[in-house]
Amino acid sequence: MSVQSPTVSEARLLSVLDTAVDGIVVIDERGRIMVFNKACEELFGRTAAEVTGLGIAVLMPPEFSDHHDAWVNHYLRTGEKKIIGIGREVRGRHADGTVFPIELSVGECRTPEGRQFIGIIRDLRSRKAVEQRLNQLQAQLVQMARVNAMDEMGAAIAHELNQPLTAVMLYLQALSRKLKLGEEEGAIDASLVEIVAKTVREAERAGAIIQKMRHFVEKREPDRQAVDVGKLVDEALELTLLGHDGAGIEVVRDLADHLPLLDVDPVQIQQVLINLIRNGIEAVRGRDDRWIRIAARVDDGRLLFEVEDSGDGIPKEKVRDLFKAFATSKKQGLGLGLAISRSIAQNHGGDLLVEPGGAGRGATFVLSLPLETADPRTE
């Protein structure tokens, strides 16, 4: 069988195909490979000379190759499309046997030599790695949010219960003194005095438990490490905008040049930034002018993160309770987000403040963190 030299137009087409970033493979209606571009060679570890004329199944793992011919024959016989014109995720097989995820889009064309099918192939391994990293980071953030929520709830409950419990103890102590006077005069049953004494002891024990709970929460230390501010912001934006939450919203990233490394717990600070960005997205939802701005700069030995939105601002009457646990105007949620965020900031020696805006200006939240350690890049 002689091999015909390609015409000028064919050579030009092959040259164009070989410059494509995605893999491009063309097969005939019998499933034989006709075109196999350079990207395919790198992707599958096979040369075009090796695979031209072979069945396309050579590029597939068994779970796909065993059924491919039947799928093609079914389409040719019935015209029912399973993958033609529809992009989907499948799996490819490298020459070394490695199976990896690919995105495959298939088109069809009719030629004088019969029908041909053009497959556009994109390697999904890097995307899968990014998705896995994001999923792991999200899982860490969710876990940290739960832990911090429990801490914040524990502190809030301890604070709220401490006052009424103290009042109960004072009343019981006063009652105990009166009962003892009555007992001395023979007017009170001794067993009643003992019951009240036991009640006082149990109230004191409950107070001690609450104090231990508060101490446990207050002594929690962040797991600090030197982190890059730009990377911290980028990952927070990536996690927040993953999906459709930020659709149609302009995100302005405004970071000063040469920012120092920041000595913080990156997961906790990222959680604060994500919460502020999400609140900003919620504030501008439904508006014509929708944007949020996240900035970072150094001011007087502190690193300031600013998250500003184009919303209506925060009413003055709500600013006072904004950072209190369980104080929320949202239909969903416990109102712990900002309370936890401020708690994290203060646990790092910083603070979380708000410029409420209004009168045509949106709110701006300012996360302030101390720069206590020297920047290794300047030493």
- pLDDT tens, residue by residue, 291-340: 999 999 999 899 999 999 998 888 888 887 787 755 555 544 434 578 87
* 124-156 pLDDT, tens digit each: 988 888 888 777 777 766 666 666 666 666 666
Report residue 217 as tokens. Answer: 């929460």
* 50-86 pLDDT, tens digit each: 999 998 888 988 877 666 666 666 666 766 666 666 7
Neighbours of 365 (CB within 10 A): 27
Fold held by 128-218: Helix Hairpins (1.10.287)
- Residue 314 carries which side chain, given as an amino acid letter? I
Selection from 92, 95, 97 nearest residue 125 by Cα: 92
Sign of the CA dihedral running 112, 115, 120, 125: negative
Sign of the CA dihedral running 66, 70, 73, 74: negative
- 190-218 vs 125-184: helix axis angle to the nearest 10? 150
Q: Quick one: CATH architecture of 225-378?
A: 2-Layer Sandwich (3.30)
Rounded to whole angstroms, how far apart are CA atoms 246 and 243? 8
Predicted pLDDT at 377? 41
Q: Name which residue leads in pLDDT, 217 or 153.
A: 153
Quick one: three-class SS letters along 63-110?
Answer: HHHHHHHHHHHHHHHHCCCCCECCCEEEEEECCCCCEEEEEEEEEEEE
Predicted pLDDT at 335? 46
* 11-48 pLDDT, tens digit each: 666 677 778 888 999 988 888 899 899 999 999 999 99
**The CATH number of the domain covering residues in 8-123:** 3.30.450.20
Does the pTM of the predicted model rise above 0.85?
A: no
Neighbours of 140 (CB within 10 A): 14
In this structure, what are the phi and psi dihedrals at residue 337, rounded to the nearest 5 degrees? -55, -55
Predicted confidence band at 230 (pLDDT cuts at 50, 70, 90)?
Answer: very high
Could you write out the DSSP letters of every residue in 4-51? PPPPHHHHHHHHHHHT-SSEEEEEETT-BEEEE-HHHHHHHT--HHHH
Owner of token pair 């005069």: 185
CA 175 to centroid of chain Cα atoms:
56
Predicted pLDDT at 331? 44
> In the predicted model, is pLDDT for residue 378 greater than 60?
no
**Pairing state between β 291-299 and 250-255:** parallel
**Sequence ranges of the domains in the chain:** 8-123, 128-218, 225-378
What is the percent of the chain with per-residue pLDDT over 70, rounded to a whole number?
73
